[in-house]
C-alpha cells in the first residue's frame, strides 16, 4: 500500500502558503481549507484509488488520516475521509484485521492489513510534516501543526 501527496499544476500555486504572512499563526481550520494544495494518491500495487482531482488541502488529509488510523487502531468507528472541496469520500471498513478502502468516486477499491494501513498513515503524516517544516520553517511554531506532530510521535517538535 502507498499514500502520497504531490503538486498539481493548476492548484498548488493557488495555496495560501505562498507569501501569506506568518504561517506560525494559521489556524487549523485555514490549514484544512486554503494551504498546501495538491494531489493525494492512495493505492496498492497498480490500483490507484486516490481522488482524480488536484484541489486537495494536505492538512485536511493529514488530520483525517490521523483520526481514521487512530480510531481503527483502538477499535473505533471513525471510518471515512471526506473532502472539503466536494461531497466525495473514502470509506474504510475493517473485517478480521483487513481494511477495505473504498472511495465513492471510483469503482475500484483496495485491501490491506490494518497494521499496514496504520503504519503507512503514520509514515505519510510524519514525512509530509517534516517536508513542510523543511520548506516553510516558520510552521515549526504553529500550534496546530505541533499538536498533529505530537499525535504521530514526530520528534523534532518540542513541547
Each domain of the chain, given as residue ranges in start order, spans: 2-151
For residue 42, the Cα-to-chain-centroid distance in whole angstroms is: 10
Of the listed ranges 70-79, 92-101, 128-137, the one predicted with least confidence: 70-79
Radius of gyration of the chain (CA): 15
Q: What is the mean pLDDT of residues 95-101?
A: 93
Return the pLDDT at 147.
Answer: 87
5 or 76: which leads in pLDDT: 5
Task: Give 140's pLDDT tier (boundaries 50, 70, 90).
Answer: confident
- CA 21, 26, 31 angle in degrees (round to 5)? 115
Beta bridge partners, 20, equal: none
The answer to whether the beta carbons of residues 52 and 67 sit under 8 Å apart is no
Model confidence, pTM: 0.91
Return the pLDDT at 156.
Answer: 57
What are the CA-CA distances from residue 53 to residues 46, 83, 116, 128, 142 (Å)? 19, 11, 26, 19, 28
Return the pLDDT at 27.
Answer: 92
Is residue 54's pLDDT more than 70? yes
Is residue 159's pLDDT more than 60? no
Phi and psi (nearest 5°) for 72? -65, -40
Return the pLDDT at 19.
Answer: 75
Return the pLDDT at 157.
Answer: 46
What are the CA-CA distances from residue 146 to residues 16, 89, 135 (Å)? 19, 26, 16
Amino acid at each position: 500500500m502507498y499514500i502520497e501527496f504531490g503538486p498539481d499544476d493548476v492548484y498548488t500555486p493557488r495555496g495560501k502558503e505562498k507569501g501569506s504572512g506568518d504561517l506560525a499563526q494559521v489556524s487549523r481550520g485555514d490549514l484544512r481549507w486554503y494551504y498546501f494544495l495538491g494531489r493525494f494518491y492512495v493505492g496498492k500495487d497498480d490500483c490507484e484509488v486516490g481522488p482524480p482531482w488536484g484541489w486537495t488541502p494536505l492538512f485536511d488529509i493529514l488530520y483525517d488520516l490521523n483520526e481514521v488510523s487512530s480510531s481503527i487502531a483502538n477499535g473505533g468507528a471513525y471510518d471515512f475521509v471526506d473532502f472539503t472541496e466536494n461531497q466525495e469520500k473514502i470509506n474504510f471498513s475493517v473485517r478480521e484485521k483487513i481494511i477495505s478502502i473504498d472511495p465513492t468516486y471510483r469503482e475500484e477499491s483496495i485491501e490491506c492489513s490494518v497494521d499496514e494501513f496504520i503504519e503507512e498513515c503514520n509514515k505519510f503524516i510524519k514525512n509530509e510534516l517534516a517536508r513542510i517544516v523543511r520548506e516553510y520553517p516558520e510552521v515549526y511554531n504553529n500550534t496546530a501543526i505541533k499538536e498533529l506532530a505530537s499525535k504521530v510521535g514526530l520528534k523534532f517538535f518540542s513541547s
